[in-house]
Amino acid sequence: MTSLLEALDWVLTADSWTGPGGLGVRAGEHLLYSLLAVGLSALVALPAGLFIGHTGRGRGIAVVSTGVTRALPTLGVITLVALAAGIGLTAPMVAFIVLAVPSILAGAYSGVEAVDPQIVDAARAQGMSPRQVLLGVEVPLGLRLILGGVRLATLQVVATATLAAYVGAGGLGRPLFLGLRNHDYAMMLGASIVVILLAVVLDALFALGQRLLARRPGTA
């Protein structure tokens, strides 16, 4: 209990946030890594997931491979890639992308699949091309679930991005590992609190977005 109070005290001290290694910079790095990883993952996983949902092709492979990658320990992936790519941001980025892709992929194809097949059929029967059906009907109607996948991925990556510090990159893992090494539990716990706050704020933003989407007529 006292250590928690000390941690809060440390987080609420202005000095902890300033300077080149302060919480402000670390939280910024943490956010940047997370958004970068989720963004890069979405670049691959969104089109792939939409394609799978629209065509039904590759679904079996997607289910199996996402199951497998979800079982991979992130720390193991970082270590493995770091052996090849060396110290720095590359290894953690690869690991975060491996972590984020399955969630985004699954959200995208289940979002498209959740759209009423009769509506999709009607859209095709009016003469919409497959692309028009996807972008004009399936994506807008499935958007809430598609966004749900990105939300889950973001939460996972933000919670895991502390591991970037394990191979010399920045982020909130730095004060966390530093505190651990120096037995400075206030710092360690304080850094964890900031990670949690970051995750909660981002998740709330996504929740808000999804709630706004749910109010649109016809959203699956």
Residues that bind other proteins (CB under 8 A): 116, 118-119, 121-129, 132, 137, 140-141, 216-219
Indicate the residue among 2 and 126 with the shorter CB distance to other proteins. 126
Please work out, in degrees rounded to the nearest 5, the angle formed at the alpha carbon of residue 19 by the alpha carbons of 17 and 22.
40
Structure tokens at 20: 């080149």
C-beta of 32: minimal distance to other proteins in Å? 35
Least distance to other proteins, CB of residue 143, Å = 10
Beta strand residue intervals within the chain, DSSP E? none
Task: Quote the least distance from Cβ 118 to other proteins, whole Å.
Answer: 6
CB of 2 or CB of 118, closer to other proteins: 118
SS3 89: coil
Min dist CB 198 to other proteins, Å, is 33
Write down the least CB distance from residue 88 to other proteins, Å: 45
Distance between CA 169 and CA 167 in Å, rounded?
Answer: 6
First-to-last CA distance in the chain?
45
C-alpha torsion sign, points 38, 40, 41, 45: positive
| Residue placing its CB nearer to other proteins in the complex, 181 or 215 | 215
Of 67, 14, 31, 5, the C-alpha closest to 171 is: 31
Q: For residues 7 and 137, which CB has a smaller minimum distance to other proteins in the complex?
A: 137
The smaller minimum CB distance to other proteins, of residues 64 and 212, is found at 212
Tokens representing 156? 């996972």
User: Where on the phi/psi map is residue 73: left (φ > 0), alpha (ψ -120 to 50), or beta?
Assistant: beta
Provide, rounded to whole angstroms, the least separation between the CB of residue 212 and other proteins.
14
Nearer to other proteins, 9 or 121 (CB): 121
